[in-house]
Chain A
């Protein structure tokens, strides 16, 4: 199979995944509550008021019509109407995404180089104490819920030392540097979760590459160690890491939900949280589908990048 055909196949699979996702999200938000108007207004509301709201929201129409209406509008960028704000959903999601992107960017800029460095360093010292420390610390940080590490960080750096602000919302008109200053503390819990995953992949890839025949050949034919490391080991070792970095965007967004709530930040996670609290189903559905879309695209991109960079991949083999 040619590269183009592989690309096409992956793209189609992603579309199927997205379609399924949209059905699941729609089912969860529209079917599960039974009566959407009742779910919003509560058990004490008058039946005619509930019927009125259902009519206004369009939730009294047949399900297939509702789904088609929602999905077809979503596909062209119209994400519906927010019940809470009585305004179109899309601009809210746009602003929230930009805010989340800033937070994620700070976390990624910190975590990607540091975790790869950590993993490589551990692999070069396999079995020594420094390897143990990096591996165990990375693993422990990964398994702790973000709000637990977040609250401890807030206590230490925000309350006791007073070094960093405990809320991520910067004052209006703050410059980029001030914004970054406000985002440092919230990005650390995300950093901690991601560090373990990425460092572990980098370490495993490094160990495999160091142990390989091509590395031995390169060493035996008298290349300087530095050249072997840069040209032979690292290039092969870090391939799987690229995939992990991309797939972690999904987990990153899950982490964003918690971190943004903890630090009072208006990102996509905070938006979904508020929509969930306020039973703003249109906002909730669209916000979640956008996250699914981003995750699916990141995975696709990782797949393509990995295939493009790795000449050993057999096109045609699929799991």
Chain B
């Protein structure tokens, strides 16, 4: 009570802030009630915990090769069996979430930052910049992401950093296009004209005035992109252009072992495949729920 009564301007400020904050709370409440979101978030959380702390609770050191256990089938000693080097598959599957959960989110983040900056500029200024970026997007989209990434990674050399940069760079024009569409709607609104009349410069208007209002589509696009990033990182690792040995990464594990499944060692690939599937589905569930909450 006393806080509200201090001064007129403060009260007005508090009222102003309650609008978006209340909307945010409402969206959060809706998300928490969505079973799609909860299931997805739970699975993602599980893999994050495994990535962070897995190494402390797995039964066997995931990097330890034991020639006595080469291609041992699942047993009490090795719950999910052992791979060609005698490494424990269960331990490797648990710890295997670490690299993909580092590389894919960082790539998405890079793409979202670059894409937002480009999209703001293109949507605000339009003109020749806009046409150029649109054509570039068309050219980039004319190739499947995996092929663009393979080309760039062969040229640059493979490492986690280059994978992040390549996927981030490919994502940026795609995200920029979404941001551009949102910005073009916003720039016609009164608050932008008001800011212009106040004499604010373009950078201020773009990043302080428009950006907060186009955050929802950016967030939705970013979660969708995260799904694609995980898809792509897993695929690149399977092809040998992504995460490198001796990482227990799932895609890499399948790539190392699938040549031997004809001999019946199904446990060397099945659990990794299921792990990838669970993560990809979980991220898409969350993306779907966020999309549902924000785009209505």
Contacts and interface: CB of A to CB of B under 8 A. Distances in A.
B32 interface: no
Given A145-B276, A277-B240, A20 B262 contact: no
Given A17-B138, A143-B231, A291-B143, 7 more contacts: A39-B155, A143-B227, A151-B261, A159-B261, A261-B238, A288-B143, A291-B144
> Which of B139, B140, B239 has the most A CB atoms < 10 Å from its CB?
B139
Contacts of A254: 143-147
A81 interface: no
A120 interface: no
Nearest to A276: B154
Given A152-B270, A155-B261, A291-B147, A147 B251 contact: yes
A258 B145 CA distance: 12
B235 A258 contact: yes
Nearest to A273: B239
B239 A258 contact: yes
B269 interface: yes
Interface string A68-105: 00000000000000000000000000000000000000
A148 interface: yes
A28 B239 contact: no
Contact of B280 (A144, A159, A284): A144
Contacts of B150: 257, 272-273, 276
A296 B142 contact: yes
Interface in B53-72: none
A250 B143 CA distance: 7
B139 A151 contact: no
Interface string A20-42: 11001100110111000001000
- Grouping DSSP codes into helix (H, G, I), strand (E, B) and loop, the B interface class, with mixed when no group exceeds half, is helix
B158 to A, nearest CB: 10
Contacts of B156: 32-33
B103 interface: no
B261 A145 contact: no
B269 A20 contact: no
Contact of B241 (A166, A255, A276): A276
Contacts of B281: 140, 143-144
Interface in A130-164: 139-140, 143-148, 151-152, 154-155, 159-160
Interface string A185-205: 000000000000000000000
- Grouping DSSP codes into helix (H, G, I), strand (E, B) and loop, the A interface class, with mixed when no group exceeds half, is helix
B215 to A, nearest CB: 25
B238 to A, nearest CB: 5
List the 10 closest A-B pairs by CB distance, nearest first.
A254-B144, A32-B155, A20-B139, A21-B139, A276-B154, A147-B238, A17-B138, A148-B273, A292-B142, A254-B146
Interface in B226-256: 227, 231, 234-235, 238-241, 251, 254
Contacts of A108: none
A303 B280 CA distance: 32
A17 B142 contact: yes
B25 interface: no
21 contacts: A17-B138, A17-B139, A21-B142, A31-B155, A143-B284, A145-B235, A145-B276, A145-B280, A147-B251, A151-B270, A152-B270, A159-B264, A166-B262, A250-B144, A253-B147, A254-B144, A254-B146, A255-B144, A273-B150, A288-B143, A295-B143
Nearest to B250: A148
Contacts of B277: 144, 148
Given A155-B269, A250-B142, A147 B235 contact: yes
